[in-house]
Copies of this chain bind each other. A is one copy, B any other.
Amino acid sequence: MNVKLVKQSGSTLDIVNAARISFGKQIESMNDKDWKLIQYLWTHKHTSPFRHIHFTFHIRAPIFILRQWMKHQVGCSWNEISGRYVEFEHSFYHPQKWRSKPDKSVKQGSGQELDDETQSDCSTIYQNTIDSLFDTYKHLLTIGLCKEQARMILPTSLMSECYWTCSFQALIHFLKQRTDPHAQKEIAEYAWTIVNLLNEDEDMKRLMKICGFNS
């Protein structure tokens, strides 16, 4: 599993209590009226109450995905493994399928899956390139080069590791953008993994549905 939920702080009760403070009121357990309030807040973009819940994830993902992910910063905290300290292991991302260029009318992204033969060619080329690069990385270290310079040749498919803490609002912003059909498939898979992780909790599942995630 490449995404682990380290901790969740708070529940929908905290959203409701943060919102009801506007009226000088607090509650101790959720009822239907409170769920309606959450629905109302979300629909009308009163997002501030959704910033009182936080989630911490331990993520293993390749650099090219983390570069998209870490653009999400408002309401987020990040820590990451450092190639200046650590000698990297032979651990690289493998896409499930290789995709073609998109239609000429589209400037960005990718099209259909490539045919079986090209799939196979891509996989072979990819694997050989990765293996050879990792050998070169190890060789550069052997002849005395420092890690922080040797890592320069490693590809963005290198697996990295992060601690990510984010508010519920920041999380939903990330999930919306990265489960969008225009997002790169590779990061969309991570986003859906997180949606599924949250849905394991009944309270969160109901909240996620309000936010438009039917899983």
Measured CA separation A125–B137 after assembly (Å)? 10
Against B, the Cβ 8 Å flags (1 = close, 0 = not) of A75-109 are 00111111111100000010100111110000111
Q: How many copies does the complex hold?
A: 4
Collect the chain B residues with CB atoms within 8 Å of residue A27's CB.
none
Given contacts A101-B147, A136-B125, is CB(A7)–CB(B9) below 8 Å?
A: yes
Judged by a CB distance under 8 angstroms, whether A31 is at the interface is no
A189 within 8 A of B: no
Query: In the complex, are the beta carbons of B24 and A110 less than 8 A apart?
Result: no
**A145 within 8 A of partner (CB):** yes
Q: Does A206 lie at the interface of the complex (its beta carbon under 8 Å from any beta carbon of B)?
A: no
Check if A52 is an interface residue, CB within 8 A of chain B.
yes
Is there a chain B Cβ closer than 8 Å to A21's Cβ? yes
Q: Which residues, 109 to 133 on A, are CB-close (under 8 Å) to B?
A: 109-111, 114, 118, 121-122, 125-126, 129-130, 133
Binary contact track A176-215/B, C-beta < 8 Å → 1, others 0: 0000000010100000000000000000000000000000
| Residues of B contacting A34 in the complex (Cβ-Cβ under 8 angstroms) | none
Taken together as a complex, chains A and B put the C-alpha atoms of A128 and B75 apart, in Å, by 43
Q: Would A81 and B21 count as touching, CB distance under 8 A? A: yes
Contact A184 B14 (CB under 8 A): no
A residues near B, CB below 8 A? Answer: 6-7, 9-10, 14, 17-19, 21-24, 26, 48-49, 51-52, 54, 56, 58, 62-64, 67, 70-71, 73-74, 77-86, 93, 95, 98-102, 107-111, 114, 118, 121-122, 125-126, 129-130, 133, 136, 139-140, 143-149, 151-157, 161-163, 165, 167, 184, 186
13 contacts between A and B (CB under 8 A): A21-B163, A26-B58, A51-B165, A63-B156, A99-B145, A100-B145, A108-B148, A110-B147, A111-B146, A122-B140, A122-B143, A125-B139, A151-B156
